[in-house]
Amino acid sequence: MFTYKIKTYTYLLILMLLTSFSVSSSFGESESRDNASTPEIKVAIGLDLMDAGITLAGGGKIFDSVKNREELKIDKLSNLNFRYENNGKFSSSELKGLYSDIRIIPNPKSHFKFKGNDYRGYLRIISKPTGIWVINHVDIEEYLYGVVPYEIPMSWDMEAIKAQAVAARTYAVRGLGQYPHGDFDVYDSVKDQVYGGIEGEDERAIQAVEATRGIILTYQGWPILAYYHADAGGQTEDGKFIFPDNDFPYLSSVPSKDNLEKHRWNFTMKKSELESLLKKSKRDVGSVNSVEVCEVSPSGRPLTIRVTGSKGKIDISSRDFRRMIGSGRIRSTLFAISTHDDESISLDFSGNIRILSPDLNNGSLRVMSSSGIKNGQEKNISVITSAGISDWDLKSILIISTSRGDVYTPKIEKKLAQDEILFSGSGFGHGVGLSQWGAKAYADDGWDYRQILSHYYQEAELSVWY
Protein backbone atom coordinates (compact mmCIF):
# COMPACT_ATOMS: atom_id res chain seq x y z
CA MET A 1 0.00 0.00 0.00
CA PHE A 2 1.20 3.53 -0.71
CA THR A 3 2.46 5.97 1.90
CA TYR A 4 1.35 9.59 1.53
CA LYS A 5 3.88 12.38 1.84
CA ILE A 6 3.58 16.15 1.38
CA LYS A 7 5.94 17.68 -1.19
CA THR A 8 6.75 21.27 -2.02
CA TYR A 9 7.72 21.84 -5.60
CA THR A 10 10.63 23.90 -6.95
CA TYR A 11 11.47 24.01 -10.63
CA LEU A 12 14.97 25.30 -11.44
CA LEU A 13 16.11 25.97 -15.00
CA ILE A 14 15.90 23.23 -17.63
CA LEU A 15 17.38 20.37 -15.64
CA MET A 16 14.18 19.99 -13.56
CA LEU A 17 15.99 20.28 -10.23
CA LEU A 18 13.17 19.39 -7.89
CA THR A 19 13.66 20.18 -4.23
CA SER A 20 11.19 18.36 -2.05
CA PHE A 21 10.29 18.65 1.61
CA SER A 22 8.78 15.55 3.15
CA VAL A 23 7.08 15.05 6.50
CA SER A 24 4.91 12.35 7.94
CA SER A 25 1.35 13.64 7.94
CA SER A 26 -2.23 12.65 8.59
CA PHE A 27 -3.57 15.60 6.56
CA GLY A 28 -6.23 14.88 3.97
CA GLU A 29 -5.47 15.61 0.37
CA SER A 30 -7.43 18.89 0.26
CA GLU A 31 -5.69 20.22 3.39
CA SER A 32 -2.24 19.68 1.90
CA ARG A 33 -3.06 21.85 -1.12
CA ASP A 34 -4.31 25.03 0.55
CA ASN A 35 -1.09 27.03 0.16
CA ALA A 36 0.34 25.24 -2.83
CA SER A 37 0.75 26.59 -6.34
CA THR A 38 0.18 24.48 -9.41
CA PRO A 39 3.18 24.30 -11.76
CA GLU A 40 2.96 25.41 -15.37
CA ILE A 41 3.83 23.11 -18.25
CA LYS A 42 4.96 24.16 -21.72
CA VAL A 43 3.41 22.06 -24.50
CA ALA A 44 4.61 22.10 -28.11
CA ILE A 45 1.44 22.26 -30.22
CA GLY A 46 3.11 23.38 -33.47
CA LEU A 47 6.73 23.05 -34.63
CA ASP A 48 8.71 24.15 -37.69
CA LEU A 49 5.82 26.01 -39.31
CA MET A 50 6.02 28.50 -42.15
CA ASP A 51 2.63 29.98 -41.25
CA ALA A 52 0.59 29.97 -38.04
CA GLY A 53 -2.96 31.19 -37.53
CA ILE A 54 -4.19 32.04 -34.03
CA THR A 55 -7.69 33.10 -32.97
CA LEU A 56 -8.30 35.03 -29.76
CA ALA A 57 -11.90 34.19 -28.87
CA GLY A 58 -12.39 37.02 -26.40
CA GLY A 59 -9.51 39.36 -27.04
CA GLY A 60 -6.22 39.64 -25.20
CA LYS A 61 -2.74 41.15 -25.28
CA ILE A 62 0.41 40.53 -27.31
CA PHE A 63 3.82 41.06 -25.71
CA ASP A 64 7.27 41.19 -27.25
CA SER A 65 9.19 38.78 -25.02
CA VAL A 66 12.60 40.11 -26.13
CA LYS A 67 11.83 43.78 -25.44
CA ASN A 68 9.45 42.91 -22.59
CA ARG A 69 6.75 45.31 -23.70
CA GLU A 70 3.12 45.22 -24.75
CA GLU A 71 2.73 45.42 -28.53
CA LEU A 72 -1.01 45.18 -29.02
CA LYS A 73 -4.23 45.07 -26.98
CA ILE A 74 -7.26 43.37 -28.51
CA ASP A 75 -10.77 43.79 -27.07
CA LYS A 76 -12.77 41.38 -29.22
CA LEU A 77 -12.50 38.21 -31.26
CA SER A 78 -9.51 38.49 -33.56
CA ASN A 79 -7.66 36.30 -36.06
CA LEU A 80 -3.88 36.64 -36.00
CA ASN A 81 -1.66 35.36 -38.79
CA PHE A 82 2.08 34.87 -38.56
CA ARG A 83 4.50 34.20 -41.41
CA TYR A 84 8.08 32.94 -41.19
CA GLU A 85 10.53 35.26 -42.99
CA ASN A 86 13.87 34.51 -44.65
CA ASN A 87 15.84 36.37 -42.00
CA GLY A 88 14.83 33.86 -39.34
CA LYS A 89 12.12 36.01 -37.75
CA PHE A 90 8.36 36.18 -38.27
CA SER A 91 5.93 38.90 -39.23
CA SER A 92 2.22 39.51 -38.71
CA SER A 93 -0.23 41.74 -40.55
CA GLU A 94 -1.56 42.84 -37.16
CA LEU A 95 1.87 43.92 -35.89
CA LYS A 96 4.56 46.24 -37.15
CA GLY A 97 8.08 44.92 -37.65
CA LEU A 98 9.66 41.50 -37.26
CA TYR A 99 9.71 39.36 -34.14
CA SER A 100 11.56 36.36 -32.74
CA ASP A 101 9.59 35.73 -29.54
CA ILE A 102 6.12 36.93 -28.52
CA ARG A 103 3.49 35.98 -25.95
CA ILE A 104 -0.23 36.01 -26.70
CA ILE A 105 -2.27 36.21 -23.48
CA PRO A 106 -6.06 35.84 -23.76
CA ASN A 107 -8.29 37.97 -21.57
CA PRO A 108 -9.48 36.37 -18.29
CA LYS A 109 -11.91 33.47 -18.75
CA SER A 110 -11.11 33.41 -22.44
CA HIS A 111 -8.98 31.12 -24.60
CA PHE A 112 -7.22 30.87 -27.94
CA LYS A 113 -7.71 28.63 -30.96
CA PHE A 114 -4.97 26.97 -33.02
CA LYS A 115 -5.46 24.45 -35.84
CA GLY A 116 -9.14 24.12 -34.97
CA ASN A 117 -8.60 23.35 -31.28
CA ASP A 118 -9.32 25.64 -28.34
CA TYR A 119 -6.69 25.86 -25.59
CA ARG A 120 -6.46 27.14 -22.06
CA GLY A 121 -3.49 29.14 -20.78
CA TYR A 122 -1.49 31.41 -23.02
CA LEU A 123 0.63 31.11 -26.13
CA ARG A 124 4.26 31.72 -26.96
CA ILE A 125 5.43 32.00 -30.56
CA ILE A 126 9.16 31.56 -31.16
CA SER A 127 11.27 31.87 -34.29
CA LYS A 128 13.73 29.04 -34.88
CA PRO A 129 16.06 28.27 -37.83
CA THR A 130 13.57 25.57 -38.88
CA GLY A 131 10.45 27.75 -38.66
CA ILE A 132 7.87 28.95 -36.14
CA TRP A 133 7.30 27.12 -32.85
CA VAL A 134 3.90 27.45 -31.15
CA ILE A 135 4.02 26.68 -27.42
CA ASN A 136 1.03 26.45 -25.06
CA HIS A 137 1.85 27.51 -21.48
CA VAL A 138 -0.84 26.02 -19.25
CA ASP A 139 -1.57 25.00 -15.66
CA ILE A 140 -0.51 21.37 -15.38
CA GLU A 141 -3.91 20.29 -14.01
CA GLU A 142 -5.71 21.96 -16.92
CA TYR A 143 -3.22 20.28 -19.25
CA LEU A 144 -4.36 16.94 -17.82
CA TYR A 145 -7.99 17.81 -18.62
CA GLY A 146 -6.94 17.57 -22.27
CA VAL A 147 -4.71 14.49 -21.87
CA VAL A 148 -6.66 11.91 -19.88
CA PRO A 149 -9.59 11.52 -22.34
CA TYR A 150 -7.12 10.71 -25.13
CA GLU A 151 -5.40 8.04 -23.08
CA ILE A 152 -8.27 6.04 -21.59
CA PRO A 153 -11.99 5.53 -22.41
CA MET A 154 -14.26 7.79 -20.37
CA SER A 155 -16.85 5.02 -20.07
CA TRP A 156 -14.56 3.02 -17.76
CA ASP A 157 -14.79 2.87 -13.98
CA MET A 158 -13.75 6.13 -12.30
CA GLU A 159 -10.96 4.44 -10.33
CA ALA A 160 -9.25 3.39 -13.56
CA ILE A 161 -9.55 6.96 -14.87
CA LYS A 162 -8.08 8.30 -11.61
CA ALA A 163 -5.16 5.87 -11.91
CA GLN A 164 -4.55 7.16 -15.44
CA ALA A 165 -4.73 10.76 -14.23
CA VAL A 166 -2.06 10.16 -11.59
CA ALA A 167 0.19 8.33 -14.06
CA ALA A 168 -0.22 11.12 -16.64
CA ARG A 169 0.45 13.82 -14.01
CA THR A 170 3.57 12.00 -12.84
CA TYR A 171 4.81 11.71 -16.41
CA ALA A 172 4.20 15.44 -16.93
CA VAL A 173 5.95 16.54 -13.72
CA ARG A 174 8.89 14.28 -14.50
CA GLY A 175 9.04 15.82 -17.98
CA LEU A 176 9.37 19.43 -16.82
CA GLY A 177 12.60 20.76 -18.31
CA GLN A 178 13.47 17.47 -19.99
CA TYR A 179 14.58 19.03 -23.28
CA PRO A 180 17.89 21.00 -23.26
CA HIS A 181 16.54 23.94 -25.28
CA GLY A 182 14.05 24.73 -22.50
CA ASP A 183 11.44 26.18 -24.85
CA PHE A 184 8.92 23.42 -24.17
CA ASP A 185 8.56 20.50 -21.78
CA VAL A 186 6.43 18.01 -23.71
CA TYR A 187 5.13 17.30 -27.18
CA ASP A 188 1.35 17.14 -27.68
CA SER A 189 1.65 13.71 -29.33
CA VAL A 190 2.60 10.13 -28.51
CA LYS A 191 6.21 11.33 -28.28
CA ASP A 192 5.10 12.29 -24.77
CA GLN A 193 1.34 12.34 -24.11
CA VAL A 194 -1.51 13.07 -26.51
CA TYR A 195 -2.99 16.48 -25.66
CA GLY A 196 -6.02 17.95 -27.40
CA GLY A 197 -6.72 21.08 -25.38
CA ILE A 198 -10.30 22.06 -24.57
CA GLU A 199 -11.68 20.14 -27.57
CA GLY A 200 -10.64 16.85 -26.00
CA GLU A 201 -11.89 17.50 -22.48
CA ASP A 202 -14.53 15.36 -20.79
CA GLU A 203 -16.35 15.94 -17.52
CA ARG A 204 -15.35 12.55 -16.09
CA ALA A 205 -11.70 13.22 -16.88
CA ILE A 206 -11.92 16.58 -15.11
CA GLN A 207 -13.49 14.84 -12.09
CA ALA A 208 -10.65 12.30 -11.99
CA VAL A 209 -8.00 14.99 -12.29
CA GLU A 210 -9.56 17.13 -9.56
CA ALA A 211 -10.07 14.13 -7.25
CA THR A 212 -6.33 13.42 -7.44
CA ARG A 213 -5.09 17.02 -7.81
CA GLY A 214 -1.37 17.35 -7.08
CA ILE A 215 -0.84 13.62 -6.43
CA ILE A 216 2.05 11.93 -8.24
CA LEU A 217 4.10 8.74 -7.92
CA THR A 218 7.57 9.09 -6.41
CA TYR A 219 10.55 6.89 -5.66
CA GLN A 220 13.23 8.03 -3.22
CA GLY A 221 11.75 11.53 -3.32
CA TRP A 222 11.67 11.93 -7.11
CA PRO A 223 8.83 11.64 -9.64
CA ILE A 224 9.02 8.24 -11.26
CA LEU A 225 9.13 7.40 -14.96
CA ALA A 226 5.42 6.61 -15.08
CA TYR A 227 5.29 4.62 -18.29
CA TYR A 228 1.92 3.22 -19.31
CA HIS A 229 0.46 1.35 -22.27
CA ALA A 230 -2.81 -0.15 -23.51
CA ASP A 231 -2.50 -3.87 -22.72
CA ALA A 232 0.38 -5.96 -21.35
CA GLY A 233 -0.86 -9.28 -22.69
CA GLY A 234 -1.03 -10.83 -19.20
CA GLN A 235 2.35 -9.76 -17.77
CA THR A 236 4.05 -6.37 -17.82
CA GLU A 237 7.68 -6.11 -18.85
CA ASP A 238 10.63 -5.07 -16.73
CA GLY A 239 11.51 -1.54 -17.79
CA LYS A 240 15.21 -2.23 -18.35
CA PHE A 241 14.42 -4.57 -21.24
CA ILE A 242 12.44 -1.95 -23.20
CA PHE A 243 13.92 1.37 -22.11
CA PRO A 244 17.72 1.21 -21.67
CA ASP A 245 19.14 2.55 -18.40
CA ASN A 246 15.73 2.44 -16.71
CA ASP A 247 16.39 -0.34 -14.23
CA PHE A 248 14.10 0.77 -11.41
CA PRO A 249 12.19 -1.48 -8.99
CA TYR A 250 8.96 0.42 -9.68
CA LEU A 251 9.15 -0.76 -13.31
CA SER A 252 9.40 -4.44 -12.45
CA SER A 253 7.41 -7.06 -14.34
CA VAL A 254 4.09 -7.90 -12.65
CA PRO A 255 1.01 -9.97 -13.55
CA SER A 256 -1.69 -8.00 -15.34
CA LYS A 257 -5.35 -8.86 -15.68
CA ASP A 258 -5.53 -7.90 -19.34
CA ASN A 259 -8.10 -8.60 -22.03
CA LEU A 260 -6.37 -11.57 -23.63
CA GLU A 261 -9.33 -12.49 -25.79
CA LYS A 262 -9.67 -9.02 -27.29
CA HIS A 263 -6.03 -8.13 -27.79
CA ARG A 264 -4.57 -11.10 -29.61
CA TRP A 265 -3.25 -10.20 -33.04
CA ASN A 266 -1.35 -11.61 -35.98
CA PHE A 267 -0.26 -10.68 -39.48
CA THR A 268 1.88 -12.13 -42.26
CA MET A 269 4.48 -10.48 -44.44
CA LYS A 270 6.51 -11.61 -47.42
CA LYS A 271 10.19 -12.32 -46.96
CA SER A 272 10.83 -9.93 -49.85
CA GLU A 273 9.28 -7.09 -47.81
CA LEU A 274 11.51 -7.90 -44.86
CA GLU A 275 14.51 -7.91 -47.19
CA SER A 276 13.56 -4.44 -48.41
CA LEU A 277 13.12 -3.10 -44.88
CA LEU A 278 16.48 -4.53 -43.85
CA LYS A 279 18.18 -2.83 -46.80
CA LYS A 280 16.56 0.50 -45.98
CA SER A 281 17.85 0.24 -42.41
CA LYS A 282 21.37 -0.68 -43.66
CA ARG A 283 21.09 -4.28 -42.46
CA ASP A 284 21.25 -6.07 -45.82
CA VAL A 285 21.54 -9.86 -45.42
CA GLY A 286 20.50 -10.73 -48.97
CA SER A 287 17.65 -13.17 -49.53
CA VAL A 288 16.05 -14.00 -46.17
CA ASN A 289 16.23 -17.68 -45.24
CA SER A 290 15.05 -17.64 -41.63
CA VAL A 291 13.83 -15.34 -38.86
CA GLU A 292 13.89 -16.43 -35.24
CA VAL A 293 13.82 -15.19 -31.67
CA CYS A 294 17.18 -16.00 -30.11
CA GLU A 295 16.94 -14.20 -26.74
CA VAL A 296 13.97 -13.52 -24.48
CA SER A 297 13.23 -11.68 -21.24
CA PRO A 298 11.85 -13.45 -18.15
CA SER A 299 8.35 -12.34 -19.14
CA GLY A 300 8.68 -14.18 -22.45
CA ARG A 301 9.19 -11.13 -24.66
CA PRO A 302 11.75 -11.30 -27.47
CA LEU A 303 14.92 -9.36 -26.79
CA THR A 304 16.92 -10.27 -29.89
CA ILE A 305 15.76 -11.30 -33.35
CA ARG A 306 18.15 -13.20 -35.65
CA VAL A 307 17.71 -12.90 -39.40
CA THR A 308 19.73 -15.27 -41.58
CA GLY A 309 20.13 -14.57 -45.28
CA SER A 310 22.20 -15.43 -48.33
CA LYS A 311 24.84 -12.84 -47.33
CA GLY A 312 25.05 -13.83 -43.68
CA LYS A 313 23.11 -13.23 -40.49
CA ILE A 314 22.38 -10.32 -38.21
CA ASP A 315 21.05 -9.97 -34.66
CA ILE A 316 18.65 -7.07 -34.10
CA SER A 317 17.21 -5.90 -30.79
CA SER A 318 13.47 -6.50 -30.65
CA ARG A 319 12.98 -2.77 -30.04
CA ASP A 320 14.78 -1.87 -33.28
CA PHE A 321 13.11 -4.75 -35.11
CA ARG A 322 9.65 -3.60 -34.05
CA ARG A 323 10.47 -0.03 -35.06
CA MET A 324 11.67 -1.26 -38.44
CA ILE A 325 8.54 -3.34 -39.14
CA GLY A 326 6.24 -0.76 -37.56
CA SER A 327 4.54 -0.66 -34.16
CA GLY A 328 1.18 -0.51 -35.93
CA ARG A 329 1.85 -4.03 -37.23
CA ILE A 330 3.84 -5.58 -34.37
CA ARG A 331 1.37 -4.10 -31.91
CA SER A 332 3.11 -5.16 -28.71
CA THR A 333 6.47 -6.28 -27.42
CA LEU A 334 4.98 -9.72 -26.66
CA PHE A 335 5.08 -11.67 -29.91
CA ALA A 336 6.27 -14.79 -31.71
CA ILE A 337 7.65 -15.37 -35.19
CA SER A 338 6.80 -18.39 -37.35
CA THR A 339 7.77 -19.44 -40.90
CA HIS A 340 6.79 -22.18 -43.34
CA ASP A 341 9.58 -24.43 -42.06
CA ASP A 342 8.28 -24.46 -38.47
CA GLU A 343 6.37 -27.53 -37.41
CA SER A 344 2.87 -27.11 -36.05
CA ILE A 345 0.47 -29.28 -34.09
CA SER A 346 -3.30 -29.24 -33.80
CA LEU A 347 -5.31 -29.69 -30.63
CA ASP A 348 -8.22 -31.77 -31.89
CA PHE A 349 -10.15 -31.40 -28.63
CA SER A 350 -10.47 -27.65 -29.07
CA GLY A 351 -12.24 -27.44 -32.40
CA ASN A 352 -9.45 -26.82 -34.93
CA ILE A 353 -7.44 -24.66 -32.54
CA ARG A 354 -3.86 -24.59 -33.67
CA ILE A 355 -0.62 -23.81 -31.87
CA LEU A 356 2.02 -22.65 -34.30
CA SER A 357 5.59 -23.87 -33.89
CA PRO A 358 5.64 -25.02 -30.27
CA ASP A 359 8.83 -26.73 -29.15
CA LEU A 360 7.49 -29.38 -26.81
CA ASN A 361 10.67 -31.48 -26.83
CA ASN A 362 12.01 -29.77 -23.74
CA GLY A 363 8.85 -30.75 -21.90
CA SER A 364 8.20 -27.30 -20.50
CA LEU A 365 5.81 -24.46 -21.19
CA ARG A 366 5.50 -21.06 -19.64
CA VAL A 367 1.94 -19.79 -19.35
CA MET A 368 0.89 -16.20 -18.68
CA SER A 369 -1.98 -15.70 -16.30
CA SER A 370 -3.68 -13.02 -14.28
CA SER A 371 -1.78 -14.29 -11.24
CA GLY A 372 1.62 -14.44 -12.89
CA ILE A 373 3.69 -16.70 -15.09
CA LYS A 374 2.97 -20.38 -14.64
CA ASN A 375 5.30 -23.20 -15.59
CA GLY A 376 4.18 -26.72 -16.34
CA GLN A 377 5.36 -30.00 -17.79
CA GLU A 378 4.09 -31.22 -21.15
CA LYS A 379 1.71 -33.71 -19.58
CA ASN A 380 0.59 -31.38 -16.81
CA ILE A 381 0.06 -27.95 -18.30
CA SER A 382 -2.15 -25.08 -17.22
CA VAL A 383 -3.25 -22.50 -19.76
CA ILE A 384 -5.03 -19.15 -19.78
CA THR A 385 -8.62 -19.38 -20.86
CA SER A 386 -11.59 -17.05 -20.79
CA ALA A 387 -12.40 -18.63 -17.43
CA GLY A 388 -8.91 -18.08 -15.99
CA ILE A 389 -6.23 -20.69 -15.28
CA SER A 390 -7.51 -24.01 -16.53
CA ASP A 391 -6.40 -27.45 -17.55
CA TRP A 392 -4.65 -28.20 -20.83
CA ASP A 393 -7.62 -29.87 -22.43
CA LEU A 394 -10.12 -26.99 -22.36
CA LYS A 395 -11.35 -25.49 -25.61
CA SER A 396 -10.95 -21.82 -24.71
CA ILE A 397 -7.17 -21.51 -24.71
CA LEU A 398 -6.11 -17.89 -25.21
CA ILE A 399 -2.33 -17.67 -25.02
CA ILE A 400 0.66 -19.88 -24.31
CA SER A 401 4.35 -19.01 -24.23
CA THR A 402 7.13 -21.58 -24.10
CA SER A 403 10.09 -21.50 -21.75
CA ARG A 404 12.21 -20.15 -24.61
CA GLY A 405 9.85 -17.20 -24.90
CA ASP A 406 7.79 -18.04 -27.97
CA VAL A 407 4.21 -16.85 -27.68
CA TYR A 408 1.38 -18.83 -29.21
CA THR A 409 -2.17 -17.75 -29.88
CA PRO A 410 -3.90 -21.06 -30.62
CA LYS A 411 -6.91 -19.84 -32.58
CA ILE A 412 -4.89 -19.03 -35.70
CA GLU A 413 -5.90 -20.94 -38.80
CA LYS A 414 -3.05 -20.25 -41.18
CA LYS A 415 -0.99 -22.25 -43.64
CA LEU A 416 2.16 -20.34 -44.42
CA ALA A 417 3.64 -20.23 -47.91
CA GLN A 418 7.37 -20.73 -48.37
CA ASP A 419 7.95 -16.97 -48.64
CA GLU A 420 5.71 -15.89 -45.74
CA ILE A 421 6.49 -14.94 -42.12
CA LEU A 422 3.82 -14.97 -39.42
CA PHE A 423 3.94 -12.56 -36.48
CA SER A 424 1.50 -13.33 -33.67
CA GLY A 425 1.22 -11.81 -30.23
CA SER A 426 -0.85 -10.41 -27.42
CA GLY A 427 -1.38 -6.95 -26.00
CA PHE A 428 -0.83 -3.42 -27.28
CA GLY A 429 2.14 -1.19 -26.59
CA HIS A 430 5.53 -1.52 -24.94
CA GLY A 431 4.25 -3.40 -21.89
CA VAL A 432 6.04 -1.34 -19.21
CA GLY A 433 4.29 0.19 -16.19
CA LEU A 434 0.53 0.63 -16.00
CA SER A 435 -1.60 -1.49 -18.31
CA GLN A 436 -4.75 0.50 -19.06
CA TRP A 437 -6.87 -2.57 -19.80
CA GLY A 438 -5.49 -4.21 -16.68
CA ALA A 439 -6.41 -1.12 -14.67
CA LYS A 440 -9.94 -1.39 -16.05
CA ALA A 441 -10.23 -5.03 -14.98
CA TYR A 442 -8.95 -4.32 -11.46
CA ALA A 443 -11.25 -1.31 -11.12
CA ASP A 444 -14.17 -3.49 -12.23
CA ASP A 445 -13.14 -5.90 -9.46
CA GLY A 446 -13.47 -3.12 -6.89
CA TRP A 447 -9.88 -1.89 -6.56
CA ASP A 448 -9.41 1.83 -5.99
CA TYR A 449 -6.82 3.84 -7.90
CA ARG A 450 -4.27 3.55 -5.08
CA GLN A 451 -4.39 -0.25 -5.23
CA ILE A 452 -4.12 -0.23 -9.01
CA LEU A 453 -1.09 2.05 -8.97
CA SER A 454 0.64 0.18 -6.16
CA HIS A 455 0.28 -3.03 -8.17
CA TYR A 456 1.79 -1.68 -11.37
CA TYR A 457 4.47 0.57 -9.82
CA GLN A 458 6.05 -1.59 -7.14
CA GLU A 459 7.90 0.32 -4.36
CA ALA A 460 6.64 3.71 -5.55
CA GLU A 461 4.84 6.09 -3.20
CA LEU A 462 1.86 8.34 -3.74
CA SER A 463 2.94 11.88 -2.88
CA VAL A 464 1.02 15.14 -2.73
CA TRP A 465 3.52 17.15 -4.80
CA TYR A 466 1.76 20.52 -4.74
Residues 107 and 159 in one domain: no
Residues 135 and 264 in one domain: no
Section 153-164 average pLDDT: 98
Residues 104 and 128 in one domain: yes
At 414 the pLDDT is 63
**Residue after which a domain boundary falls, among 113, 140, 167:** 140
Q: In terms of pLDDT, which residue wins out, 299 or 435?
A: 435
At 369 the pLDDT is 40
| The most confident of 163-177, 247-261, 418-432, by mean pLDDT | 163-177
Does residue 1 register a pLDDT over 60? no
Burial class (CB in 10 A: 0-12, 13-18, 19+), 416: middle
List pLDDT tens digits, range 10-22: 343 333 443 333 3
Confidence of residue 417 (pLDDT cuts 50, 70, 90): confident
Least confident of 141-155, 331-345, 369-383: 369-383
At 173 the pLDDT is 97
**C-beta separation of 294 from 306 below 8 A:** yes
The DSSP element (H or E) to which 71 belongs, if any, is: strand 69-74
List pLDDT tens digits, range 301-326: 999 999 999 999 999 999 999 999 99
DSSP string, 265-285: EEEEEEHHHHHHHHHHTT---
Closest CA to 386 of 375, 370, 373: 370
At 144 the pLDDT is 98
**Residue after which a domain boundary falls, among 140, 155, 188:** 140
Confidence of residue 33 (pLDDT cuts 50, 70, 90): very low
**C-beta separation of 55 from 61 below 8 A:** no
Alpha-carbon gap, residue 196 to 32, rounded angstroms: 30
Helices 436-444/158-175 angle, 10° precision: 140
Residues 12 and 54 in one domain: no
At 36 the pLDDT is 52
Q: How far is CA 424 from CA 243, 329, 374, in A?
A: 22, 10, 20
Which residues in 271-429 belong to E strands, given as ranges?
A: 288-296, 302-309, 312-317, 335-339, 344-347, 353-356, 364-369, 372-377, 382-385, 388-391, 397-402, 407-408, 420-426
Residues 399 and 436 in one domain: no
At 37 the pLDDT is 85
Residues 66 and 165 in one domain: no
Residues 47 and 60 in one domain: yes
Does residue 418 register a pLDDT over 50? yes
Q: Which domain holds residue 453?
A: 5-38+143-236+431-464
Residues 298 and 405 in one domain: yes
Alpha-carbon gap, residue 180 to 376, rounded angstroms: 50
Residues 157 and 68 in one domain: no
**Residue after which a domain boundary falls, among 78, 105, 140:** 140
Residues 350 and 253 in one domain: yes
Write 22-30 long-range contacts (CB < 8 A, 24+).
22/221, 22/463, 29/212, 29/213, 29/214, 29/215, 29/464
Residues 213 and 242 in one domain: no
Whether this model's pTM surpasses 0.85: no
Domain count for the chain: 3
**C-beta separation of 397 from 383 below 8 A:** yes
Which residues are CB-contacts of 306 (< 8 A; sequence separation ≥ 6)? 290, 291, 292, 293, 294, 313, 314, 315, 316
Residues 98 and 186 in one domain: no
Helices 318-325/271-280 angle, 10° precision: 110
